[in-house]
Structure 1
Amino acid sequence: MAHRNFKKEDFVQDESGQYKIEFQKGNIGEGSDLIVERQKEDGEYETLQAEIKRHEENIFIFWSEPFDGRVIFDE
């Protein structure tokens, strides 16, 4: 499985107050097997049940606050 790291600075706050990060389908694939993990202070990762939405060629991940983490996907 492949992954893409992201930083909390990559998140953008939307009109509802939630934070979202955007990926292109071409960068992480189109599969439904996306796993979102948040990096803890000790460097380990924990799995989140984040809201994921797809629109055209984009995939959006929503969470209540920005965080450092990664998205895991099939190549």
Structure 2
Amino acid sequence: MAHKNFRKEDFAKIEGSDLYQVEFRKGEIGEGSNLVVERQTQNDEYENLQAEIRRHNDRIFICWSEPFNGRVIFDE
């Protein structure tokens, strides 16, 4: 399993919503059928989240109520 890290600063506020999103291209993480989103804790460990995942054209968006440091795990 491969992963791609992201930071709080990578998130953007969704206009007209209370959510934030981080964006990936399909080429970076695949089609997105087996994505796992994890948030980094204060202990530098990771916990699974059931984040909303949206797809549009060749983009994949991970949405959450606040920005966080984390990673997305995917099949290569």
TM range (shorter): over 0.9
2:43 alignment partner in structure 1:
42
Give the conservation status (yes or no) of the 8 Å contact 2:6–2:69.
yes
- Aligned pair count? 75
Question: 4+ residue stretches of structure 1 with deviation over 3 A?
Answer: none
2:5 alignment partner in structure 1:
5
Flag structure 2 segments of 5+ consecutive residues without an equivalent: none
Q: SS of the counterpart of 1:17?
A: coil
Instruction: Kindly provide the amino acid, as one letter, of the partner of residue 59 in structure 1.
Output: I
Q: CA deviation at 1:31?
A: 3.6
Measure, in 2, the Cα distance between the counterparts of 1:31 and 1:6: 16
Tell me the TM-score normalized by structure 2: 0.96
What value does the CA root-mean-square deviation take over the aligned residues? Answer: 0.6
Q: SS of the counterpart of 1:59?
A: strand
Give the conservation status (yes or no) of the 8 Å contact 2:26–2:32.
no
Tell me the TM-score normalized by structure 1: 0.98
Q: CA deviation at 1:41?
A: 0.4
Instruction: Kindly provide the amino acid, as one letter, of the partner of residue 62 in structure 1.
Output: C
Measure, in 1, the Cα distance between the counterparts of 2:30 and 2:59: 10
Deviations 1:5-51 (A, max 9, x none): 00000000012121000000000000410000000000000000000
